[in-house]
Chain A
Amino acid sequence: MGYVPVGAAFGILATTQGFTALQAIANSATAIAGAGQFIGLSLMQTGASVLTVLVATSIVNLRYVLFGATLSRHLDRTPLIGQAALAFTLTDETFAINIDDHRRGSASAMSMAGVGAISWMGWVFGTALGATASSVIGDPYRFGVAFAMPAMFVALLVAQTENREQVIIAVVAAVLAIGFAVLLPGKWYIVAASVVAAAIGALFYR
């Protein structure tokens, strides 16, 4: 599963920024938020308030609302407790796999539960691996760890831009981010720029 290496990167970054290994693992096991967790780290590093961190990570994870809404149509006959369990492991990757299974007619609540369990284990195992390995590596800044998070964000950005509309909105968001970064305190420019840029996208591309 693709989640192990990214989980490991999170484990290393979290522990080098003052998380204990237990905190890194707990964060991965309960949030399972990929990019959201990395953003949380980068905000906490600058001493952002708890509210800032939670609002920013929730905005980043708003895409789950879209995934959940799409999947809910296939879960009409699943009992609420089953829906509750499946929602827990809803991520970019599990969503993609489940929708793909559904197109081929092989999706069921059981198969979705299996996909979810495997991703969760990969993510948590990767985090544990990274969190424990980083105590062996020593001073990570010598090795350029300062760029690990920006590199991950660059990769996620490229992964998100699948068509021309998204490229244009990415540029709009970048320009807005610079403007808001000058005007607003702390990291609020991230929230402001993404809310406004997505609204511009929704307005112009219907």
Chain B
Amino acid sequence: MRSAYVWTVIVGMGVANYALRFVPVAMLSRLRLPRPVQRWLSFVPVSVMSALVVGEVLRPDGRWLPPLQNPYLFAALPTGLVYYKWHSFLGTTIAGIIFFLVFRALLG
């Protein structure tokens, strides 16, 4: 990856993230967010994660894989169960990688 590209993203992400955190803390001590905006914000994280998972799993590296030959899809299901049961990010990542290796080997 080009160094200037990576650094531009890093600086931009730092600034954007800080603005997102600081502006509401500073401004909203008196002001309150309207209820519909609060509701919308409360559904943003789950929507983002779901959209991300769909993209990463069904279209890895930008190519749609046929569902029945897709090790990402087969591995994602037990991976979700592992997090649901044990609530560990590290454990889930490791288990997910193992599931992926198994299904990649099985599906050729």
Using a CB–CB cutoff of 8 Å, the interface residues on chain A facing chain B are 2, 5-6, 9, 17-20, 23, 26-27, 30-33, 35-37, 39-40, 42, 44, 46, 50, 53-54, 57-69, 71-73, 75-76, 80, 83-84, 86-88, 90, 143-161, 165-166, 169-174, 176-178, 181, 187, 189-190, 193-195, 197-199, 201-202, 205-206
Query: A72, B29: Cβ atoms under 8 Å?
Result: yes
Interface size class of chain B, counting residues whose CB lies under 8 Å from the partner chain = 35 or more
CA distance A169 to B69 in the complex (A): 27
CA distance A86 to B93 in the complex (A): 30
Nearest CB of chain A from residue B88's CB, rounded to whole Å: 8
- Cβ–Cβ < 8 Å partners of A57 in chain B: 13, 16-17
Nearest CB of chain B from residue A110's CB, rounded to whole Å: 16
Query: B90, A69: Cβ atoms under 8 Å?
Result: no
Given A44-B1, A206-B35, residue A54 in contact with residue B89 (CB < 8 A):
no
30 contacts between A and B (CB under 8 A): A19-B1, A19-B6, A23-B7, A30-B13, A31-B13, A33-B13, A57-B16, A63-B44, A64-B20, A65-B41, A72-B29, A73-B28, A84-B22, A147-B97, A150-B72, A151-B79, A153-B52, A153-B53, A157-B80, A174-B51, A174-B53, A181-B59, A189-B55, A190-B48, A194-B51, A195-B47, A198-B40, A198-B41, A202-B36, A205-B43
Most buried by A among B8, B21, B59: B21
Using a CB–CB cutoff of 8 Å, the interface residues on chain B facing chain A are 1, 3, 5-14, 16-18, 20-29, 32-33, 35-36, 38-62, 72, 75-76, 79-80, 83-84, 87, 89-90, 92-93, 95-101, 104
- Cβ–Cβ < 8 Å partners of B49 in chain A: 35, 153, 156-157, 160, 170
- Cβ–Cβ < 8 Å partners of A187 in chain B: 55
Nearest CB of chain B from residue A169's CB, rounded to whole Å: 5
- Cβ–Cβ < 8 Å partners of B58 in chain A: 178, 181
CA distance A161 to B43 in the complex (A): 10
Query: B93, A155: Cβ atoms under 8 Å?
Result: yes
- Cβ–Cβ < 8 Å partners of B50 in chain A: 157, 169-171, 173-174, 177, 193-194, 197
CA distance A205 to B41 in the complex (A): 12
- Cβ–Cβ < 8 Å partners of B16 in chain A: 54, 57-58, 61
Nearest CB of chain B from residue A130's CB, rounded to whole Å: 11
Nearest CB of chain B from residue A201's CB, rounded to whole Å: 3
Known contacts A69-B33, A73-B29; 7 further A-B pairs (Cβ under 8 A): A9-B93, A23-B3, A88-B18, A151-B92, A153-B49, A160-B49, A178-B54
CA distance A120 to B81 in the complex (A): 29
Nearest CB of chain B from residue A155's CB, rounded to whole Å: 4
- Cβ–Cβ < 8 Å partners of B62 in chain A: 46
